[in-house]
Chains A and B, each alone.
Chain A
């Protein structure tokens, strides 16, 4: 069994996760990375995506993360995200509404549509839906 170290996921609203884990993988902006206890100090920005980690009992857990930053220290990983939620907390209907809204905005092509923002919203929505539907 792998050695345990600490994971903290904090958002401006609350600490989403604060527990001992065995391993974690997260979507770094330059590529997915995985960390175990004793990883060298490492700092990266994150993409929209999923964080997977094995908790102390060895269960696989999953989180949705909306970009942010990760700091990896030998005995602790801290993730700073503007929003993050556990898979069971994802609001599927809200995500589907957001997806429809973003798609509508992109297909309308009105002059004042902020394409980048609409695409980002669509991306987030699709990711949330995907994660929520994995069983």
Chain B
């Protein structure tokens, strides 16, 4: 059986670990609030944008933008992989990376795949596997993501798509559905799947706040030209949204992981405390036996 001193120092060290994990949990909680606010602030822009886009997309044909046209033969694929910069967030990054692995083994088998990595964990993985990395963005995840990151990398992708360097682009990110639910998701962003999806059930006529129907927009320049300008922006919006969602998911995942770790620490401390008490009691008992034995011997 371990000595009293050993058990005691174990208890102290587990308690220290517990302090760290519970502090990390609190940090993650406050960061989570920050990125949820950023998501909240982004919502009006995104929803208004898709509303306007939907209203003009309904009027246009499929051939308004080269971004809509899928290539006859898909050889080169770019995958945007959103992960976190830091670990200690449970299976968060592994889940996202597994999604990429699964894609590489199925749909993307035999194709030339290159990665654009947002976040250090995904970058490290891609590097280790020897996958080519077109671009990497480290130090942006989890903090205040700037829109220029999304528009800059989005523009680069659009350029290489138009030049034929890339035939398809996929986005892997973590969809934030709630504190306990973050789902790794794959989304095709280039070629743009179809205008029908953008239009959804949106009515093409604009509606004012009171719900009365208004005449169709007068567009300046033409609605096709406007759509041509808006579609690339819509890609930036999707990337930005993915970055925000992944950041938020990261904090939520870390919060849960740290909460579990804190609980596990408590359990271990309880167990160790029992061992400590037992050891102490055993010591006292054996001391008593010695004393009693000694007394008996003297008497005899």
Q: Do A and B come from one complex?
A: yes
A-B contact count (CB 8 A): 84
Are B45 and A10 interface neighbours, CB within 8 A?
yes
Complex CA distance for A45 and B41, rounded to whole angstroms: 22
In this assembly, does B49 line the interface, its C-beta being within 8 Å of a C-beta of chain A? yes
Are A14 and B41 interface neighbours, CB within 8 A?
yes
Are B240 and A12 interface neighbours, CB within 8 A?
yes
**Interface of A toward B, CB cutoff 8 Å:** 8, 10-15, 28-30, 40-45, 69, 71, 73-76, 78, 80, 82-83
- Known A74-B214, A76-B208, A82-B147; contact A29-B220, beta-carbon cutoff 8 A: yes
Q: Interface readout for B211-240 with A: 1 if CB under 8 Å, 0 if not?
A: 000111111110100100110010011001
- Known A41-B215, A43-B218, A82-B147; contact A12-B208, beta-carbon cutoff 8 A: no
Residues of B55-70 contacting chain A, CB below 8 A: 55-56
Are A75 and B209 interface neighbours, CB within 8 A?
yes
Chain B, interface residues (CB within 8 Å), range = 20 to 34
Are B209 and A76 interface neighbours, CB within 8 A?
yes
List, in ascending order, chain A residues with CB within 8 A of B49's CB: 69, 80
Complex CA distance for A124 and B216, rounded to whole angstroms: 32
Nearest-neighbour CB distance to chain B for A113, whole angstroms, equals: 15
**Which of A12, A43, A78 is within 8 Å of B219, CB to CB?**
A43
List, in ascending order, chain B residues with CB within 8 A of A74's CB: 208, 214
Residues of B20-38 contacting chain A, CB below 8 A: 38
Complex CA distance for A28 and B219, rounded to whole angstroms: 11
List, in ascending order, chain A residues with CB within 8 A of B218's CB: 40-43
List, in ascending order, chain A residues with CB within 8 A of B208's CB: 73-76
Are B48 and A43 interface neighbours, CB within 8 A?
no
